[in-house]
Amino acid sequence: MSIIDRSGVLHDLGMKLRQVGRMQISRILGSVPTTSGAYKALIDLIERSYFMRAELNAITALLLKKGLVTEAELAKQFEEEFRHYFTQIAQAWPEAEFDAKGITIKDAAALAERSKREGWPP
């Protein structure tokens, strides 16, 4: 048995979330064909984001309702996971420093070179 029942309610709700994702993409790209590489990448990211959020909320609610974890334990674990994940992804950006209020560019020349090398939009 798969977790997502593709013949029923979960499938329909997933497709509704996908339609909302399409509207979000329109805010970024405007009208584009569904064959666009940028569209395909964004819909994939948005779908994963929406679906994982719903799944995480469902699992968290069940854990709390069954008394398997406390809110304090969850908050502590979330903090640990956020800190770990941030540390991992921030390493990919040595030119910048990130804090809760914004981004500080530590090496503007290196960031400009990276932007050029990676073909960032102007």
- Distances from the Cα of 103 to the Cαs of 11, 58, 120, in angstroms? 39, 33, 18
pLDDT digits (tens, 9 = 90+) for 89-108: 999 999 999 999 999 999 99
Buried b (16+ CB within 10 A) or exposed e, 4-33: eeeeeeeeeebeebeeebeeebeeeeeeee
In a domain, 59, yes or no: yes
In a domain, 91, yes or no: no
Compare 102 and 13 and report the one with higher pLDDT: 102
Domain membership of residue 42 as a residue range:
9-69
Is the residue at 76 inside a domain? no
For residue 93, which of 71, 115, 77 has the smallest C-alpha distance? 115
Looking at residue 113, what is its pLDDT? 95
How far apart (Å, rounded) are the C-alpha atoms in residues 55 and 51? 6
Q: How many structural domains does the chain have?
A: 1
pLDDT band at 8 (very low <50, low <70, confident <90, very high): confident
Q: Is 84 part of any domain?
A: no
Distance CA 42, CA 33 (A): 13
Give the per-residue pLDDT at 81: 96
Q: What's the pLDDT tens digit per position in 30-62?
A: 998 989 999 999 999 999 999 999 999 999 999
What is the pLDDT at residue 96? 96
Q: Which two tokens stand for residue 103?
A: 């981004």
pTM above 0.95, yes or no: no
73: helix, coil or strand?
A: helix
